Amino acid sequence: MKIVLVRHGETEGNSKGLYEGKKEVSINDNGRNQSKKLGNLLKDYKFSKVYCSPQKRCKETLDIIIETLDFKPESIEYKEELKEIDFGLWEGLSYKEIEKVFPRQWEEFIKDYKDFYFPDGERFIDFYKRATKILDFLDDGSYLILTHGGVIRAVLSKLLGSGIEGFYSIKPKQGAYSEINYYKDFVEIEYINKD
């Protein structure tokens, strides 16, 4: 099975280093250009199915990619599992602002992110389990999964066998894709962050 994981195009918040999470934001001009470029890079692929986060920035990215592709996917499914982590009160802030406004919670997060609850947000381990559930929907075939940086980190760390401990060892770029061949007994990486 082939899995192509695409991170949405850049947003204004991304360009400023802000945590956006469940916040509904649009991609910016650079994000639209990244999406057009992605469409050109992916135009020769034949996907069995497309799964996409229902969040606005992902839908906008997918709409632009679909315009560029030489084919129209038979089915596009928007999956709640593919939504970004809910950062709660941290959304809209940079990590420096978070460290200043929430020093105790920031320290807890750095010490043990796996069991951390974002203030008024989601528990990290619950997000990880939710995000990696997308793998349960895949069968033989070729899949385009358009989602967020956190979800891509979760899926790749699970596929590569490092689990939640390896979550931060991968940094997906906006407007880039990673391609994995997933076999019963092993995983083969074609690309990470191709743009």
Binding residue per annotation — 9?
A: yes
| 167/155 Cα distance (integer angstroms) | 9
Q: Which of 178, 130, 129 is nearest to 152 (CA)?
A: 178
Residue 8 annotated in active site: yes
DSSP track, 113-170: GGGPBPTTS-BHHHHHHHHHGGGGG--SSEEEEEE-HHHHHHHHHHHTT-GGGGGGG-
Going 117 to 27 to 194 to 80, the CA torsion angle's sign is positive
Residue 148 annotated in active site: no
Binding residue per annotation — 57?
A: yes
Binding residue per annotation — 8?
A: yes
> Greatest CA span in the chain, whole angstroms?
51
Binding residue per annotation — 14?
A: yes
Q: Which of 20, 60, 84, 179 is catalytic?
A: 84
34 within 8 A of 175, measured Cβ to Cβ: yes
Binding residue per annotation — 10?
A: yes
Length of the chain: 195
**Can you say which residues are annotated as belonging to the binding site for substrate?**
7-14, 57
- Catalytic positions: 8, 84
